[in-house]
């Protein structure tokens, strides 16, 4: 993402290459997913300076145009990927688990109509590919543990 300078959930309101309003809408939708389903954790997406991410991979929000055959095919593939990931999560890395859980949550708590047939999908991409596009920010994740009064009320 370019121009955005925030490590807060949802980033800033600046429009970047991946569209922060989409990031904000994703985080809002994720609030409707039960903490219990994430073992009392809360996962959210943030806009993060690319150079501050140590690993070789980053996250990217793609938007599937469900009015097009290609978009619908990619959505069917995503649903199959989420099902496979649920069964094989012990074989996945942390970034893959985060991506899988966010995509699963978005599929469960939002409809295609909610996204006006332009459904966001979280993908894992090589950091070097993003760097080669002169993008300075990427989507990343943060996990907050639900504890205390919040835990008791869930």
- Domain spans in the chain, listed from the N-terminal domain onward: 20-152
Q: What is the pLDDT of residues 73-119, one digit of tens each?
A: 999 999 999 999 888 888 889 999 999 999 999 999 999 999 999 99
Residue pair 4/14 in contact (Cβ under 8 Å)? The answer is yes
Residue pair 22/63 in contact (Cβ under 8 Å)? The answer is yes
Whole-model pTM: value is 0.79
Q: Which residues of 16-31 are buried (b: 16+ CB within 10 A; e: fewer)?
A: bbbebebbbbbbebbe
Q: What is the pLDDT of residues 120-147, one digit of tens each?
A: 999 999 999 999 998 999 999 998 887 6
Q: Which residues of 117-131 are buried (b: 16+ CB within 10 A; e: fewer)?
A: eebbbbeeeebeebe
Residue spans of beta strands (DSSP E) within 52-112: 57-65
Which pLDDT does position 149 carry in this prediction?
A: 59
């Amino acid at each position: 993402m370019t121009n955005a300078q925030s490590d807060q959930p949802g980033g800033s309101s600046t429009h970047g290459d991946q569209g922060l309003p989409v990031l904000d809408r994703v985080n809002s939708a994720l609030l409707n997913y039960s903490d219990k389903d994430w073992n009392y954790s809360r996962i959210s997406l943030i806009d993060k300076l690319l150079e501050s991410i140590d690993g070789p991979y980053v996250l990217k929000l793609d938007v599937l145009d469900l009015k097009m055959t290609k978009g619908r095919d990619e959505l069917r593939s995503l649903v199959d990927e989420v099902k496979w990931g649920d069964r094989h999560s012990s074989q996945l890395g942390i970034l893959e688990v985060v991506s899988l859980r966010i995509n699963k949550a978005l599929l469960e708590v939002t409809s295609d109509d909610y996204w006006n047939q332009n459904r966001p999908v979280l993908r894992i991409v090589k950091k070097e590919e993003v760097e080669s596009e002169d993008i300075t920010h990427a989507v990343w994740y943060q996990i907050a543990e639900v504890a205390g009064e919040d835990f008791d009320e869930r």
